[in-house]
Amino acid sequence: MPTPSEKYDIHSPKRYLEYTETPYYRAFRDLTNPGSAASNYAVLKSMENAEKSLAAIEEYYNGPTYINVMPKFEFTYDSVTPLESRKFFLRNGYDIGKRSIWRMTLCEKASNLFLVRRCQIQSGAGKLPQAIAALLVEYCNGQEYGLRLIEKQMIKGGAIAYVAFSSEGTPASICVGQGYGSAYCITALYTTENQRKKGYGAAALLAAMRGAAEAKLGYDTIFLDTASENTNAVSLFEKAGFRGEEHTVYGAFKGGVPLQWKRVTLEDLEEEASWTK
């Protein structure tokens, strides 16, 4: 039985992304944002009819009106496992990659080390003003795909952005939160480089956490995922009262694994599986 956060991962994107689903697979896409890996991905739910599923998914991403999108498969709560599908994906020209994340849930009070800047906070949903949008573009290394996705989440998915402003009145940090059922997810937190370690990120995060509580929509779980290599973010979330553990996540990619991922060989997968038995 999926937990509230697992249900969020499975179902929430259906509110703001185009998708197709059968008993064998699920695929999301965004015609306006083809460069976003978070907007264009599939989940293979069964090895039954896998060849037909793969052909249908690849056509979904490279049809007459939607071309040059490299297919990506996520291994998630209702998908086949990397181990059982490894030979299938490799045979069809996919590489399997892995990366490490921290999956964290709010379960304690904030520590005395959680230093929050007293500053102006604004919240809202929909298309963002240019100065705030620039924070999200910076967050994605100058690309706009993250901004497009988050604006779609706010317009169609119920997400809200909380922005902390510096004493000069410029946006210093942004935190985005989105609810689904009884779970509330912190989907993004970013502070511009010259305003870090001043409490602005903590202020934006706290505003999002308060917003979840004040919404009175029955959220009993506040959770997030963050990259393990982002040690500053992990430390901030722990000071805010989040606890969790490191997880390895896998994906199957056509055209090579992304820079943040490590390619996994067939031998690697089989060796890792032997350690978990």
Supply the DSSP string of 31-89, one letter for each residue.
Answer: TT-TT-TTTSEEEE--STTHHHHHHHHHHHHSSTTS-S---EEE--TTSPPHHHHHHHH
> How far is Cα 154 from Cα 229, in angstroms, rounded to an integer?
27
Cβ proximity of 162 and 175 under 8 Å: yes
Sign of CA dihedral 149, 151, 155, 158: positive
List per-block mean pLDDT (blocks of 10 residues) for the chain, which spans 277 residues: 82 94 96 88 97 95 73 93 93 94 94 94 93 92 91 93 96 94 92 95 96 87 92 94 94 89 83 57
Give the model's pLDDT for residue 274. Answer: 55
> How far is Cα 199 from Cα 231, in angstroms, rounded to an integer?
16
Residue 22: which region, alpha, beta or left (left: phi > 0; alpha: psi -120 to 50)? beta
> pTM here?
0.90
> How far is Cα 171 from Cα 93, in angstroms, rounded to an integer?
44
> How far is Cα 222 from Cα 44, in angstroms, rounded to an integer?
27
Give the model's pLDDT for residue 277. Answer: 42
